[in-house]
């Protein structure tokens, strides 16, 4: 079967119920680690989806896009690259990337403490450098150069040892090394006019992902950008064949939606971009602790979310029916920057109590209770009870929640953890927020 004969009906045959483990996995950890972690430089101008194309690409806040940004004439990244690195070839960073302090067990322990259910490391980003001995890459991978280690294999084993699910990110849509194009300066060039679409690249990417599936047996395949058009079929080296192989190896596996108009198990949004996908039945929002995925030494506390802010973001996503994939960007030496470690630790302190109320939670039926911004309130449905997550963005200590006493047993509402206390009033609940709470107060309200 060729590209021209793969119909929507062919792709629809891959449709299946989303496995229970993923439905009950509210929180994942993304890892962007690569040769770009050596320069570790970008302008932290803001979040994807809030900045127009020209400014975004010329001043790209994604440090993992360094190879693209330094090729844009007049960009501050190009000037930085000349001043600091003498304009040297990007691949020099692969040899300078040593990962000498990389401790995968420590990473997995931190992710587990933070409350993660699954972990998704990048196996090959747009720079084309593979973090395992990928077929067809010669020595341009981390086994033969730089760290001289199978980084994906080490992460996979550490994640499995902690009982977490493994996802694998792969850039099927772009590879600036094997298919060089002029630097991207528009979203159209990324997603259409300057991405590889040919059969040769489709075979190259197919062989990579099949190798990842066979070697590491992931639970999630997380493709990025697109898939080469000439490979969108069910024949030899076809994407449909790849999906069938993945599901045969792992019947409980899931794939995201960034494979072009083919097949998906769930949709994705990124920071503020593609928010329309958050209306689908299964979706995931991804973002970094700051504005970059790869480690950016320029970012500080003013660009970074705290553990308490992460707790609110996670709760907001789950209250709307989504999953949250939070990125960690390690340094080139393999250490996790302290600002990121503190955020994950702070989140974990809250998740020690909160996670049990997020796993398996569903959005509360419209009309039962309302979310609000001040006081900050999000609701989830736990079957026999509703759970409110309550915070005060203005620093106040009191939050009034109006509820219909006919639909809830207000007198039986209880506060869990160290976030606050609750008492029933005539028309709802009054929550007293404790000053040192690690995240939103958790209020359980039985249904009547």
Three-point CA angle 66, 278, 308, nearest 5°:
70
Last residue of a domain, one of 331, 358, 385: 358
Residues 304 and 435 in one domain: no
Task: Using alpha carbons, list the distances in angstroms from residue 203 to 121, 151, 214, 229, 439.
Answer: 22, 24, 16, 11, 47
Per-residue pLDDT band at 2 (split at 50, 70, 90): very low
What's the rounded mean pLDDT across residues 258-278? 98
- Assess whether pLDDT exceeds 90 at residue 5: no
Domain extent, residue 337, equals 3-358
pLDDT for 4 equals 55
Among 369-378, 379-388, 392-401, 426-435, which stretch is predicted with the lowest mean pLDDT? 392-401
- Provide the angle, in degrees to the nearest 10, between the axes of the packed helices 104-114 and 338-358: 50
The tens digit of pLDDT for each residue in 66-99 reads: 999 999 999 999 999 999 999 999 999 999 999 9
In angstroms, the CA 327 to CA 47 distance is 14
Decide: 377 and 389 in contact? Cβ < 8 Å: yes
The tens digit of pLDDT for each residue in 153-188 reads: 999 999 999 999 999 999 999 999 999 999 999 999
- Residue 417's CB is within 10 A of a number of other CB atoms, namely 18
Task: Using alpha carbons, list the distances in angstroms from residue 290 to 18, 75, 301, 351.
Answer: 30, 21, 8, 20
In angstroms, the CA 271 to CA 414 distance is 34
What's the rounded mean pLDDT across residues 121-146? 98
What are the structure tokens assigned to 288, written together? 């970094």
Per-residue pLDDT band at 395 (split at 50, 70, 90): low
* Backbone phi and psi for residue 381, each to the nearest 5 degrees, phi listed first: -100, 125
In angstroms, the CA 398 to CA 391 distance is 9
Per-residue pLDDT band at 394 (split at 50, 70, 90): low
Last residue of a domain, one of 358, 379, 410: 358
* Backbone phi and psi for residue 29, each to the nearest 5 degrees, phi listed first: -115, 125
- Assess whether pLDDT exceeds 50 at residue 3: no
In angstroms, the CA 358 to CA 356 distance is 6
What's the rounded mean pLDDT across residues 417-435? 92
Residues 156 and 92 in one domain: yes
What are the structure tokens assigned to 295, written together? 């480690």
Numbers of helices and strands, H then E, in the chain = 13, 17
pLDDT for 121 equals 99
What's the rounded mean pLDDT across residues 304-332? 98
- Assess whether pLDDT exceeds 50 at residue 265: yes
Average pLDDT, the chain: 96
Among 56-70, 113-127, 309-323, 406-420, which stretch is predicted with the lowest mean pLDDT? 406-420
Residues 245 and 316 in one domain: yes
In angstroms, the CA 403 to CA 369 distance is 7
The tally of domains found in the chain comes to 2
Last residue of a domain, one of 358, 381, 411: 358
Strand partners of residue 428: 402, 425
Residues 353 and 372 in one domain: no
pLDDT for 392 equals 85
pLDDT for 28 equals 98
pLDDT for 369 equals 93
- Provide the angle, in degrees to the nearest 10, between the axes of the packed helices 199-216 and 239-249: 0
Domain of residue 159, CATH code: 3.20.20.80
Residues 335 and 349 in one domain: yes
- Assess whether pLDDT exceeds 60 at residue 12: yes
Residues 298 and 369 in one domain: no
Residues 336 and 438 in one domain: no
Quick one: which of 418, 316, 424, 330 has its CA closest to 372?
A: 316
Task: Using alpha carbons, list the distances in angstroms from residue 11 to 3, 16, 19, 228, 241.
Answer: 12, 11, 19, 16, 11
Decide: 169 and 131 in contact? Cβ < 8 Å: no
Indicate the pTM of the whole model. 0.97
Per-residue pLDDT band at 1 (split at 50, 70, 90): very low
First to last CA, the chain: 57
Residues 202 and 295 in one domain: yes
Task: Using alpha carbons, list the distances in angstroms from residue 337 to 16, 73, 142, 252, 330.
Answer: 39, 31, 21, 34, 6
Beta-strand pair 220-223/254-255: parallel
- Assess whether pLDDT exceeds 90 at residue 426: no
Residues 219 and 266 in one domain: yes
Cα torsion 169, 174, 180, 186: sign: negative
- Assess whether pLDDT exceeds 60 at residue 427: yes
pLDDT for 302 equals 97
Strand partners of residue 322: 283
Residues 338 and 435 in one domain: no
Residues 347 and 368 in one domain: no
Residues 140 and 165 in one domain: yes
């Amino acid at each position: 079967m060729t590209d021209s004969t793969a119909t929507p009906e062919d792709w629809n045959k891959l449709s299946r119920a989303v496995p229970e483990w993923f439905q009950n996995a509210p929180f994942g950890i993304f890892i962007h680690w690569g040769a770009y972690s050596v320069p570790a430089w970008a302008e932290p101008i803001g979040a994807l989806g809030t900045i127009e194309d020209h400014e975004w690409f010329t001043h790209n806040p994604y440090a993992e896009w360094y190879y693209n940004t330094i090729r844009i004439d007049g960009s501050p990244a190009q000037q930085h690259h000349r001043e600091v690195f003498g304009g040297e070839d990007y691949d020099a960073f692969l040899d300078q990337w040593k990962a000498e302090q990389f401790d995968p067990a420590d990473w997995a322990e931190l992710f587990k403490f933070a409350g993660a259910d699954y972990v998704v490391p990048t196996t090959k980003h747009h720079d084309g450098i593979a973090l395992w001995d990928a077929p067809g890459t010669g020595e341009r991978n981390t086994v033969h150069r730089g760290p001289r280690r199978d980084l994906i294999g080490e992460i996979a084993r550490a994640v499995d040892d902690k009982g977490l699910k493994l996802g694998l990110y792969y850039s099927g849509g772009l590879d600036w090394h094997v298919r060089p194009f002029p630097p991207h300066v528009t979203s159209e060039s990324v997603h259409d006019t300057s991405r590889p679409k040919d059969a040769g690249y489709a075979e190259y990417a197919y062989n990579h992902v099949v190798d990842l599936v066979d070697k590491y047996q992931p639970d999630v395949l997380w493709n990025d950008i697109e898939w080469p058009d000439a490979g969108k079929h069910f024949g030899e080296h076809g994407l449909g064949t790849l999906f069938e192989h993945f599901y045969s190896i792992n019947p409980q596996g899931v794939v995201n939606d960034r494979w072009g108009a083919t097949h998906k198990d769930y949709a994705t949004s990124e920071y503020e971009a593609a928010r329309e996908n958050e209306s689908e039945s299964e979706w995931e929002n991804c973002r970094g602790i700051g504005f970059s995925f790869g480690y950016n030494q320029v970012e500080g506390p003013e660009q970074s979310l705290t553990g308490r802010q992460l707790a609110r973001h996670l709760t907001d996503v789950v209250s709307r029916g989504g999953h949250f994939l939070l990125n960690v960007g390690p340094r080139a030496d393999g250490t996790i920057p302290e600002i990121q470690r503190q955020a994950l630790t702070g989140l974990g302190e809250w998740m020690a109590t909160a996670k049990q109320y997020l796993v398996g939670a569903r959005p509360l039926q419209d009309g039962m209770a309302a979310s609000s911004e001040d006081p900050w309130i999000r609701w989830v449905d736990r079957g026999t009870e509703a759970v409110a997550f309550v915070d005060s963005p203005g620093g106040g200590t009191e939050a009034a929640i109006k509820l219909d006493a006919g639909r809830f047993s207000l007198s039986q509402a209880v506060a869990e953890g160290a976030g606050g206390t609750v008492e029933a009033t005539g028309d709802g609940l009054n929550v007293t927020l404790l000053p040192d709470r690690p995240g939103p107060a958790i209020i359980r309200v039985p249904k009547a």
